[in-house]
Amino acid sequence: MEDIKLIDIPKISDPDGRGNLSVIEKAIIPFEIKRVYYLYDVPSDSSRGGHAHIKLQQFLIALSGSFDVVLDDGREKQTITLNRPNKGLYIPNGIWRELDNFSAGAVCLSLVSDVYKEEDYIREYNQFLTFFQNTK
């Protein structure tokens, strides 16, 4: 769990009050981005995720609204609320994640370290526990 990090994304405020701009450059995220996707229109009583990755690393940003990210390394759980577009959550491989409690209008941007590979997913929690107990 110690490798999970909330990372500040630089925010540039317009002096004339025309809004803010945030930029994500290579030095902010500890991996090369190979895929980008986003979740939106998620009902507040639904959850997303419910899996872990063997190798893939992920960086989540609440571009709009808010949602909770429940993280589990097999020994402890932690919930982090994302609700600011200038803060991102780095999730290394080997962490079970679930996203829930989506607010109306929430948009979750996900930047990831690899293209989609089904074989990198662990979708059963008991399999996750067994796999990572043998590797940690």
From the list 48, 51, 84, 87, the catalytic residue is 51
- Structural element, H or E, at residue 116: none
Are β-strands 96-100 and 87-91 bridged in parallel, bridged antiparallel, or unpaired? unpaired
Active site residue 51: yes
Other Cβ atoms closer than 10 A to 39? 16
For the chain, the distance separating the N- and C-terminal CA atoms, rounded to the nearest angstrom, is 12
Residues 116, 82: Cα–Cα separation, whole Å? 24
- Any idea which residues carry the catalytic annotation? 51
